[in-house]
Structure 1
Amino acid sequence: MASASVKEFGKAWWSEVYNRIIGAVVFLDDASAECLHWDGGLFNLLTGGAVAVKSLSPFVECGEEKKAVFITQSTWTQVQTICDIIRRNQFSAVILISSASLDAVYLELCTDRDASDKVAAGRGIAEGTKLLEDILRDSFKGRLCSIEVVHVPIFTIALTNVVFVTPPYKDIYPKFNGKMILETNQFDLHSLQTDERNDARRLASGLNNMLDSMNLKEDIYYIGAYSTILAGVLENSPVCIARRKNCLHPASLIIVDRTLDVCGVTSHATESVLDKIMAVLPRFPGHSNEVAVDMSPLCEANNAYHKGPDDDSALSPGCLFHATDDSCIQTYDYMINKSQKEVMFDLYNKLSKIDVQKSPSPKTLLKVTPQSVEKIITASKGNYQIIGNHLGVLQQACAVVQTLKSPKRAQQELLMSLEKQFQQNLAASRDSTTVLQQMSHLIKTRKDRSLALESLLALLIHLYSLKGKDIKFPSQHEEALREILSVAIFEDHKILFKGEKAEIVTPEECDEMSKKVMDKLKDIANMRNTMVNYNIVLKPCETGVGHEYKGLLQQLVEDLVDTERPEMYDLRHKNESLVLKTKDLIRSGFNMLTQKKSRTAKHPLDNPTIIIFVVGGVTAEECKRLHRSVITSGVDNTVLIGSTKLVTPVEAMRDLLSLEVA
């Protein structure tokens, strides 16, 4: 099943799912449901023959229904839930569609000591299928049943033709038992904890499935400790080795650790409308890349979405992406790749065609404001024929208006201004900078400025990653900041922490947490220490006035598409040792600086297709800039940009700091 793009890869495998659901109750986990949303949503299942669609819960009862289809990641917890559902119902036919590769599932579920040997011998998929069939059969307790276990690699969503994310792997982050810097010198699977190891195998097998479906035979490149491990799995797995023998089209796969440069994902300086929306609106329930849009401006019902699901008058949220509406797909692309002004004109132009009040023509407007868009939305309120015919664009328009009119936007603008001010301060004063003193004052006075502590923590991460190893903060400034952080964490602990433990946090715990935060900030500053090309991300502006942030990814892509083909010393290749020592890496880096360019060295641009995959999240702004660099370079190669998820500054902060009460 060959496919030319990530979008086609997803559609091809969803068609395999639709062939199996006729007459069945379909159960989905959150990640599969999110992938379904981007393929067309719930109606694809219902019009395809499913009799009902339910979430994966052990307490579901399905009456007299005899056939069930489960679409899950096949984790141990999910398999146990499936067994509970089977026991509570009268199914006679069950199909388990595992989104994760069955050899990876087998290694997780099997207690057999010989499991690794069986996988190495190429028997992992068959053994995984048999193991899951046996577990499910036990749940029927002797009843006659038909059981099918099949692997269908549903794990990608295509945001645009060149950008994709992987919802099942949204929680994977380049850490090692919670730490950002690997303490051992060996970079292999045994460097990871059991859960981390399972996640790495699952992600690698997913990427392998995608490459297989796209008929790509890849050269693997990587930057970062976690990416080194991932590259090792892809290079040495028996399934991957067998696949590369059969695939025809050469490609370059570049895997990058997010932790090497977290400035981009903690920055509020974005032109992307999608980033602005993601930072302001709540997530759609169960989703990592979709937002919940308040639909009350269109409906006569009162909005009670935030009151809870038991409220009869609750109004379901809207969303941004509408897979069956080409006009909405175009607008979504604009939200990533165009300016706010262009997005506003695009929305106004589409809305003006359905406006019952006949607002001014787009051609007569010099500027489209949130108010002018909102006016058309309000005119459509309660007119359910118009709403039904134009539901997608109305939801997108509501999202943009709610974002731009939100009080949070003023906070975002203030944070963006502070960010720019701190950048110039760092560049100009370097080691004598007073940035941390200013940050301490900001944290103290945050409530006067309506700034959330979690946003200021994201700004702190941005600063430490920006400065790298070249700029030193005075130790007394860092200690003063730590003390202020301790107090602030205690004051805002109910907002920062989730769950029951958040109610009983002590000052001592907050003090300990502030120490851990400072330690992680110092780790963040040192992440690029061993790099040759990309150790500095605060660069002089091309205009010659001031400094600007130029991210590691941006520098990498600019070097990648440069026709002069500069040496990229930090980009490792699979032909080099996958088990590297830090000292060797530093030494080889300096040696390479003194060597002449090798004419025989492989280059990612040698292959027509290049996939850059960032482990740990990207922003829409980064995707736009990377894509623009490729387009303006004039290279003929197809460059795809993938990541585990879209991320906001606050989400990036939480991924890095892992804020939790012990």
Structure 2
Amino acid sequence: MAAASIKEFGKVWWSEVYNRIIGAAVFLDDYSAECLHWDGGLLNLMYGGAVSVKNLSPFEVASKDHKKAVFISQSTSTQLRTIREIIKHSDFSHCMLISTVSLDVVYLELNEGKDVSDVVAAGKAPTEATKQLEGMLLEWIGKQQSAVEVVHLPLFTICPTNIVFLTPPYQNVYPLYDGKLTPDSSALDLYSLSRDGRSQVRRLASGLNSLMDSMNLREDIFYMGTYSSLVAGVLENSPVCLARRKTCSNPASLIIVDRTLDLCAVTSHSMESVLDKIMTVLPRFPGHSTDVAVDMSPVCEANVINHPDDVQLPPGCLFHAHDDSSVQTFDHMINKSQKEVLFDLYNKLSKIDVQKSPSPKTLLKVTPQSLEKIVSASKGNYDVIEKHMGILQQALAVVHTLKSPKRAQLELLQNLERQVLQSLAASRDSTSVLHQISHLIKTRKDRHLSLESLLALIVHVYSLTGTEVSFSKQHESSLAETLSVAIFEDHKTLFSPDSGYMCSPEQCDEISKKIMGRLKEMALMRKNLQKYGSVLKPCETGAGHEYRGVLQQMVNDLVDTERPELPDLRHRNEGLKDLLRSGLNILTSKKSRSTKHPLDNPTVIIFVVGGVTGEECKAIHRSVITSGVDNAVFIGSTKFVTPVEAMRDVLDL
């Protein structure tokens, strides 16, 4: 199946699903359900002919009169056991497994510990996996007259905008090596990772390969960061990827970057993007990594006691695939200013306003209260609500966010970040930043600050300073001691009940030491970068310093018409090719060809392993547009991330 763009990629493969579900009971896992939401949601399956749609859970079964089942799954060993339970407790005679992960990867996982190198090298792994899985399905059905089918459909992307894509099934993929920030050995390969670690790299690489295949792209692979080199290695050398590159004809550049090289952007509370603000303030939509739960009680008659857990009124959400007006507003939430988003929403709401509020043209300023007034006027008017459901949900999300008590905390944290930046830029080695943060932790309850947010601030500081600032041992010891006490006091909100932490004073000491060790590792993440080792740059105005992220610096150089050197961006196969070229040059005495540049190809995909923010996507997109380059540049990542989520990822809490 061919896809003309990344947005088209997901639609093409979901249309394949809709062709296969007529008369079927459909069972799908949470990740596939999230991807479906961004293609149109549950109704797409029901209108497509499904007789029922259920979660892929061992506690679910189909009605006895449903004879056909379609399972949409990541095909992990746990999920295959779940499928077995569902089949054994139902009465199917026709089962289809839609594996969203490439079958060559599934084959390696099914045969973990066996020598299957010959099968893999010969490119027969997908065929053999199909046979194995079909055999398992037939055995579980246990009937003479039964039909089974196994297909791979790469359902793993969502597209918040035309140029940004995320991969919900890989939201937990992070540049860690068996829980550590840096690998034990410099001679790192896939087999120095744990079984789960290898599986994550292969699954992510297989997804990117499927994307390239659908878009008929033959890529040059560039990477920045150790973990990204592993993903690049699988993409470069896997037999399935090698076979695909022989048949694909459109040249492209794929740039893979480790999030851990620069954690400042994702742990900063100084956010301009409305989407970043919404995701930081509102709870997640149940089971989703990107959309949020919106309290809909202002337009409904139901009395909600505990949103979003109150089952009598399901939460609203931000993205509405079938509503073009809402899709446009979602794009604005990333790419436009808060003022522009408020005016956009007011314009759209004013067309449905039953009280006839002032015209947008006569308003000098749109406030959350202006939006709330129009939304409240539609309360209980279910004809209006039904017709304009998307825009009402988005307006309520913005109102709840901008009126939330958490906004004051965010503004305080923004001011603290600015003070830290000034302090670091002014004093460098003599800085007392950690002493100030220790004081903030001790007085956090008076300031209504959460320990989580302050931990995100500490991660921000260590990633910002890198190797340029060395903190005094006395200040670090004091911070570790303060953290230990704070973790003991706040462990119920910091850790989930099933985290395994008992949180005795002694264990809190250990957790605090682990965090401090992780922070010191974090400061060293850019030590091997030649050009992007520092993110503290003098302001262009000449006064003070500002943060300029690794990703932003790289993109600015990438689209610079002068084509500056990109020494930190490694080309996956340059080592071997350079060696061959130098050998040939001895014979031919011809001048060596210049190093490959990502913009040599018309399509460029930048993929960040470990999360991005809406603000980063907006800045990168703006750099590309203002540069005037003709290349199509797409931005991908494993997920959108908030400061607290980024902190939890890197500290492994």
Q: Contact 1:305/1:315 (CA < 8 Å) preserved in 2?
A: no
Q: Contact 2:464/2:535 (CA < 8 Å) preserved in 1?
A: yes
Find the counterpart in structure 2 of residue 360 from structure 1: 358
The Cα of 1:304 is off from its aligned counterpart by 4.3
Q: Contact 1:494/1:502 (CA < 8 Å) preserved in 2?
A: no
CA distance in 1, matches of 2:50, 2:421: 55
CA distance in 1, matches of 2:501, 2:644: 21
Residue 601 of structure 1: which of 595, 598, 604 is its match? 595
Identity percentage of aligned residues: 68
The Cα of 1:646 is off from its aligned counterpart by 0.4
The Cα of 1:569 is off from its aligned counterpart by 0.5
Find the counterpart in structure 1 of residue 537 from structure 2: 539
3-state SS of the aligned residue for 1:222? Answer: strand
Residue 437 of structure 2: which of 436, 439, 453 is its match? 439
CA distance in 1, matches of 2:113, 2:446: 60
CA 488–36 in structure 1, closer or farther in 2 if over 3 Å, else same? same
The Cα of 1:195 is off from its aligned counterpart by 0.1
The letter of the residue matching 2:517 is D
Q: Contact 2:295/2:308 (CA < 8 Å) preserved in 1?
A: no
Find the counterpart in structure 2 of residue 49 from structure 1: 49
The letter of the residue matching 2:154 is P
The Cα of 1:501 is off from its aligned counterpart by 5.5
The Cα of 1:136 is off from its aligned counterpart by 1.5
CA distance in 2, matches of 1:629, 1:282: 31
The Cα of 1:114 is off from its aligned counterpart by 2.6
Find the counterpart in structure 1 of residue 32 from structure 2: 32
The letter of the residue matching 2:489 is E
Aligned residues: 639
Q: Contact 1:285/1:292 (CA < 8 Å) preserved in 2?
A: yes
CA distance in 2, matches of 1:614, 1:324: 28
CA distance in 2, matches of 1:265, 1:111: 36
CA distance in 1, matches of 2:126, 2:263: 37
Alignment of 1:597-636 (within 5 A): 600-636=594-630
Q: Contact 1:187/1:228 (CA < 8 Å) preserved in 2?
A: no
Residue 451 of structure 2: which of 450, 453, 463 is its match? 453
The Cα of 1:62 is off from its aligned counterpart by 1.8
CA distance in 1, matches of 2:487, 2:250: 53
3-state SS of the aligned residue for 1:182? Answer: coil
Residue 650 of structure 2: which of 642, 653, 656 is its match? 656
The letter of the residue matching 1:512 is E
The gaps in structure 2 that reach 5 residues or longer are 577-590
Cα displacement string for residues 579-638 of structure 1 (whole angstroms, at most 9, x for unaligned residues): xxxxxxxxxxxxxxxxxx976211001000000000000000000000000000000000
CA distance in 2, matches of 1:546, 1:445: 29
The Cα of 1:433 is off from its aligned counterpart by 0.5
The Cα of 1:210 is off from its aligned counterpart by 0.3
The Cα of 1:57 is off from its aligned counterpart by 1.1
The letter of the residue matching 1:8 is E
The Cα of 1:357 is off from its aligned counterpart by 0.3
Find the counterpart in structure 2 of residue 585 from structure 1: none
CA distance in 1, matches of 2:592, 2:607: 26
3-state SS of the aligned residue for 1:539? Answer: strand
Q: Contact 2:278/2:397 (CA < 8 Å) preserved in 1?
A: yes
Whether 1:10 aligns to 2:4 is no
The Cα of 1:305 is off from its aligned counterpart by 5.3
Find the counterpart in structure 2 of residue 488 from structure 1: 486
The gaps in structure 1 that reach 5 residues or longer are 579-596
Q: Contact 1:304/1:315 (CA < 8 Å) preserved in 2?
A: no
Q: Contact 1:493/1:502 (CA < 8 Å) preserved in 2?
A: no
3-state SS of the aligned residue for 1:413? Answer: helix
Alignment of 1:34-433 (within 5 A): 34-63=34-63, 64-111=65-112, 113-304=114-305, 306=307, 308=309, 314-433=312-431
Q: Contact 1:296/1:303 (CA < 8 Å) preserved in 2?
A: yes
The Cα of 1:557 is off from its aligned counterpart by 0.2
CA distance in 2, matches of 1:513, 1:110: 37
CA distance in 2, matches of 1:532, 1:519: 24
Cα displacement string for residues 210-261 of structure 1 (whole angstroms, at most 9, x for unaligned residues): 0000000000000000000111000000000010011111000000000000
Find the counterpart in structure 2 of residue 591 from structure 1: none
The Cα of 1:116 is off from its aligned counterpart by 3.1
Q: Contact 1:465/1:524 (CA < 8 Å) preserved in 2?
A: yes
Q: Contact 1:431/1:472 (CA < 8 Å) preserved in 2?
A: yes
Q: Contact 1:464/1:521 (CA < 8 Å) preserved in 2?
A: yes
Whether 1:642 aligns to 2:636 is yes
Q: CA RMSD in A?
A: 1.4
Q: Contact 1:257/1:616 (CA < 8 Å) preserved in 2?
A: yes
The letter of the residue matching 2:46 is L
Cα displacement string for residues 141-188 of structure 1 (whole angstroms, at most 9, x for unaligned residues): 345311100000000001101100000000000010111111211132
CA 332–107 in structure 1, closer or farther in 2 if over 3 Å, else same? same
Residue 570 of structure 2: which of 569, 572, 591 is its match? 572
Q: Contact 1:611/1:641 (CA < 8 Å) preserved in 2?
A: yes
CA distance in 2, matches of 1:464, 1:76: 39
3-state SS of the aligned residue for 2:145? Answer: coil
Find the counterpart in structure 1 of residue 587 from structure 2: none
CA distance in 2, matches of 1:323, 1:381: 24
The TM-score, its normalising length taken from structure 1, stands at: 0.95
CA distance in 2, matches of 1:39, 1:500: 33
The letter of the residue matching 1:123 is K
The letter of the residue matching 1:620 is G
3-state SS of the aligned residue for 1:106? Answer: helix
CA distance in 1, matches of 2:185, 2:574: 19
CA distance in 2, matches of 1:166, 1:242: 24
3-state SS of the aligned residue for 1:158? Answer: coil
Q: Contact 1:251/1:608 (CA < 8 Å) preserved in 2?
A: yes
The Cα of 1:503 is off from its aligned counterpart by 7.6
Residue 554 of structure 1: which of 552, 577, 581 is its match? 552
The Cα of 1:109 is off from its aligned counterpart by 1.4
Q: Contact 1:221/1:254 (CA < 8 Å) preserved in 2?
A: yes
CA distance in 1, matches of 2:177, 2:113: 26
Q: Contact 2:308/2:314 (CA < 8 Å) preserved in 1?
A: no
Q: Contact 1:107/1:116 (CA < 8 Å) preserved in 2?
A: no
Cα displacement string for residues 57-84 of structure 1 (whole angstroms, at most 9, x for unaligned residues): 1121222211110111010000000000
The letter of the residue matching 1:148 is E
Q: Contact 2:267/2:460 (CA < 8 Å) preserved in 1?
A: yes
